C-alpha cells in the first residue's frame, strides 16, 4: 500500500552487446530484458549494440511484476538520444509491454497513484489501468495504448489527452432484510451490529437464514466515503480484483472454510493482501465456523483488535489495513439439529462439547454479539404476500446512529479504545448491572468493555444520551450465548 518510488537508471558502455539488469529484480522483472528488446525493435526503434546496464533503485527493495517494462524501455530510448530525456522528469511511468510494443494492464495502479499523488507528477499508464487510477482526485493520468503513443507524447508530436474519469454511481442494495422470513430478533441484532460496527456470531440449525442475514449486512451499513472507497479499491487493485461497478460498495468476503492462513491474512513470497484486507471497510463472513482449521481462526485475533495486519518475511515487511466487520455462523452440534423442537439431534454431550471446542475461548472473547437463529415455522414460510422492504429504513437508522457516533467520538463504537470508554456515558445503574454480570458470568476485562460498547450502540439506536440499565441488560443477553459456548469449550467462561 505504501508504493515506494523506484528510479530506473541506464548506462551505456563499450564492449560486447549485453543487457544487464540489477537492483534486486525478481523473475518477472528479469524477463523484462527480452520484452523490452522485442518491443523496441518491433516499434522500429534502434536497440543499442553496446553493453547496457539497467539499475532499479533503491537496490535493497525487491522488484516484482511487469510494471517496470515501460520505464525501462523509455530509459533506454533516452540514454540513446531517441527521445528527449528532460521530458521524462514530469511523469511517472508504469506498464507491461507486449512484444509488439502494446501496453498491458498492471496490478496496483490505483494504490500506486494514491500513494504518489502528492509528488506533483502526472502518470502515464496503460489504458486498461488508467480508469481505476483516475478515481483519485487532483491527479493527472494519461492513458496510452502502446510504447509508440508514449514516445509521440514525450516528443510533442501527438500529446496524450488526460483522462477525465467520472466517479461511478454506487449501485443500490439488491438484497433486502424482508427476504428473510421471521427472525425478528436476529434482524434486531443485525441492525445493532451495523450501527456500532460490532462482530457477530449466528448460531442455529441448517436452513434458518444465517447466511442470508450475513449477506444483507452490507446493505445496512452506511455508504462508503470517498477516502474509504479509495482504500478499499486500492487493496482490490493490488490483488488484481478491482471492478469499477463495485465502487463505493461495501466489500463482502465469504471464503470457504478450507482456506489457508495465508489466504485469510495475506502473505506469500511476494506479500499480497488476504481476505481480511479485501474485506477492509466491509464484512468478512465465516460460515461453518467450527469446520475451520483452528490455527487459521487464531490468526484473526490480532487484526480484530488492531484493524491491520503486519506480514514479515526475510526480504521485507508489509502492512495491510484490515478494518473488517466479522460475521460468523455455526451449527449448534455436528449434525446441526441440537435444540430443534422436532428432536432430530442424536449427538451425545461429548460430541457436542468436542464440536464446540474447535473454537477457542480467546477468539470467542473478541465477538461482541451472539444470537440463536431458531427454525422458522412453516406457517411463516408459506405466506405468499410480498413483504415490504426493510433494509432502506434500517439503513437510515444505522446512518443516523453512525453520524451521532462520529460527532461524539470520531469513530464507531466498536473502535473505541479502553481509554475512550468514558465516552459511553453509562449511568450508575447501568454500571452496577454490568459489574454484577461480570462476576456472575465470569467476564474478562475485554468482554466487559465490549458489552459496554454494545450497550452504547443500543442506547444510540434508542436515541438516549446515556446508557441505562435496560440497554446494559440487553447487551448482556447477547453476550450470554458467547459465554455458554466458551463454557462448552471446556475453558473458563470469559477466558
Collapsing DSSP to helix, strand or coil, 160 comes out as: coil
Element (H, E) at 72: helix 69-79
Q: Are residues 239 and 125 in the same domain?
A: no
The Cα 211–Cα 4 span in angstroms is 40
Q: Are residues 32 and 145 in the same domain?
A: yes
Q: Are residues 298 and 329 in the same domain?
A: yes
Q: Are residues 122 and 216 in the same domain?
A: no
Beta bridge partners of 318: 311
Order across the sheet with 141-144: list the strands: 91-93, 122-126, 141-144
Which class for 71: exposed (0-12), middle (13-18), buried (19 or more C-beta within 10 A)? buried
Q: Please give the backbone phi and psi of residue 364, each rounded to the nearest 5 degrees, phi first.
A: -60, -30
Q: Are residues 135 and 230 in the same domain?
A: no
Query: Is 386 contained in some domain?
Result: yes
pLDDT of 167 reads 65
**pLDDT < 50 regions, the chain:** 489-495
Query: Is 159 contained in some domain?
Result: no
- Residue closest to 36 by CA, chosen among 120, 110, 90, 93: 93
Beta bridge partners of 64: none
CB distance 117 to 138 below 8 Å? yes
The Cα 273–Cα 283 span in angstroms is 15
CB distance 304 to 326 below 8 Å? yes
Q: Are residues 322 and 461 in the same domain?
A: yes
What are the pLDDT digits (tens) for 272-307? 899 999 999 999 999 999 999 999 999 999 999 999
Query: Is 333 contained in some domain?
Result: yes
Q: Are residues 148 and 189 in the same domain?
A: no
Beta bridge partners of 2: none
Q: Look up the domain containing 402 and give its range.
A: 177-488
Q: Are residues 221 and 254 in the same domain?
A: yes
pLDDT of 482 reads 63
Handedness of CA 251, 187, 292, 359 (dihedral sign): positive
What are the angstrom distances between the C-alpha of 304 and each of 236, 252, 270?
20, 16, 24
Query: Is 495 contained in some domain?
Result: no
CATH of the domain at 54: 3.30.230.10
pLDDT of 483 reads 58
CB distance 191 to 220 below 8 Å? yes
Q: Where among 120, 154, 188 does a domain terminate?
A: 154
Q: Are residues 185 and 116 in the same domain?
A: no
- Which three cell numbers, joined as nine digits, stand for 242? 478491482
Q: Are residues 72 and 197 in the same domain?
A: no
The Cα 223–Cα 234 span in angstroms is 17
Q: For residue 58, is the peptide bond before it cis, meaning its omega torsion is within 30 degrees of 0? A: yes
The residue whose grid cell reads 478450507 is 258
What are the pLDDT digits (tens) for 37-63? 999 999 999 999 999 999 999 998 889
pLDDT of 490 reads 45
The residues near 176 (Cβ < 8 Å, ≥ 6 apart) are 216, 219, 389, 390, 391
Query: Is 266 contained in some domain?
Result: yes
The domain tally of the chain equals 2
CB distance 277 to 267 below 8 Å? no
CATH of the domain at 289: 3.40.50.300
Q: pTM of the predicted model, to two decimals?
A: 0.87
pLDDT of 166 reads 67
Query: Is 163 contained in some domain?
Result: no
- Residue closest to 258 by CA, chosen among 296, 212, 301: 296
The Cα 140–Cα 76 span in angstroms is 25
Query: Is 130 contained in some domain?
Result: yes
The residue whose grid cell reads 442455529 is 204
The residue whose grid cell reads 449511568 is 427
Q: Are residues 359 and 216 in the same domain?
A: yes
Task: Cite the beta strand spans of 94-140 per DSSP E.
Answer: 96-97, 103-104, 122-126
Query: Is 190 contained in some domain?
Result: yes
CB distance 427 to 468 below 8 Å? yes
pLDDT of 491 reads 42
Q: Are residues 34 and 122 in the same domain?
A: yes
Amino acid at each position: 500500500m505504501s508504493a515506494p518510488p523506484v528510479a530506473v537508471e541506464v548506462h551505456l558502455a563499450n564492449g560486447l552487446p549485453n543487457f544487464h539488469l540489477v537492483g534486486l529484480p525478481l523473475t518477472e522483472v528479469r524477463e523484462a530484458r527480452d520484452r523490452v528488446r522485442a518491443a523496441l525493435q518491433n516499434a522500429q526503434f534502434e536497440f543499442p549494440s553496446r553493453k547496457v546496464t539497467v539499475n532499479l533503485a533503491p537496490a535493497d527493495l525487491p522488484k516484482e511484476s511487469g510494471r517496470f517494462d515501460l520505464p525501462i524501455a523509455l530509459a533506454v530510448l533516452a540514454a540513446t538520444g531517441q527521445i528527449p530525456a528532460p521530458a521524462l522528469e514530469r511523469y511517472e511511468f508504469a506498464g507491461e509491454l507486449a512484444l509488439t510494443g502494446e501496453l498491458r494492464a498492471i496490478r496496483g495502479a490505483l494504490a500506486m497513484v494514491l500513494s504518489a499523488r502528492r509528488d506533483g507528477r502526472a502518470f502515464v499508464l496503460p489504458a486498461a489501468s488508467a480508469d481505476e487510477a483516475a478515481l483519485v482526485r487532483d491527479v493527472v493520468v494519461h492513458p496510452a495504448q502502446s510504447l509508440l503513443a508514449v514516445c509521440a507524447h514525450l516528443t510533442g508530436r501527438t500529446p496524450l489527452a488526460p483522462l477525465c474519469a467520472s466517479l461511478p454511481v454506487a449501485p443500490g442494495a439488491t438484497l433486502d432484510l424482508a427476504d428473510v422470513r421471521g427472525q425478528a430478533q436476529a434482524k434486531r441484532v443485525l441492525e445493532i451490529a451495523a450501527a456500532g460496527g460490532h462482530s457477530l456470531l449466528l448460531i442455529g440449525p441448517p436452513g434458518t437464514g444465517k447466511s442470508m442475514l450475513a449477506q444483507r449486512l452490507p446493505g445496512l451499513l452506511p455508504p462508503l466515503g470517498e477516502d474509504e472507497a479509495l482504500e478499499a479499491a486500492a487493496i482490490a487493485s493490488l490483488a488484481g480484483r478491482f471492478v469499477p461497478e463495485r465502487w463505493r460498495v461495501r466489500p463482502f468476503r465469504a471464503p470457504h472454510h478450507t482456506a489457508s492462513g495465508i489466504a485469510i491474512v495475506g502473505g506469500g513470497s511476494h506479500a499480497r493482501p488476504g481476505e481480511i484486507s479485501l474485506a477492509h471497510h466491509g464484512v468478512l463472513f465465516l460460515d461453518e465456523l467450527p469446520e475451520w482449521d483452528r490455527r487459521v481462526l487464531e490468526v484473526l485475533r490480532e487484526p480484530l483488535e488492531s484493524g491491520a495486519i503486519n506480514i514479515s518475511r526475510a526480504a521485507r515487511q508489509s502492512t495491510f489495513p484490515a478494518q473488517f466487520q466479522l460475521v460468523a455462523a455455526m451449527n449448534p452440534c455436528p449434525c446441526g439439529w441440537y435444540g430443534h423442537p422436532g428432536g432430530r439431534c442424536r449427538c451425545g454431550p461429548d460430541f457436542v462439547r468436542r464440536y464446540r471446542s474447535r473454537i477457542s475461548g480467546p477468539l470467542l472473547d473478541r465477538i461482541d454479539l451472539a444470537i440463536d437463529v431458531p427454525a422458522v415455522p412453516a406457517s411463516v414460510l408459506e405466506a405468499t404476500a410480498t413483504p415490504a422492504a426493510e433494509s432502506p429504513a434500517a439503513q437510515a437508522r444505522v446512518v443516523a446512529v453512525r453520524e451521532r457516533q462520529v460527532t461524539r467520538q470520531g469513530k464507531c463504537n466498536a473502535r473505541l479504545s479502553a481509554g475512550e470508554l468514558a465516552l459511553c456515558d453509562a449511568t450508575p445503574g447501568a454500571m452496577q448491572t454490568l459489574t454484577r454480570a461480570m462476576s456472575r458470568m465470569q467476564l474478562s476485562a475485554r468482554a466487559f468493555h465490549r458489552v459496554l460498547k454494545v450497550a452504547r450502540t443500543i442506547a444510540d439506536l434508542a436515541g438516549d444520551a446515556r446508557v441505562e440499565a435496560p440497554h446494559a441488560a440487553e447487551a448482556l443477553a447477547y453476550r450470554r450465548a458467547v459465554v455458554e459456548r466458551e463454557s462448552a469449550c471446556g475453558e473458563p467462561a470469559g477466558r
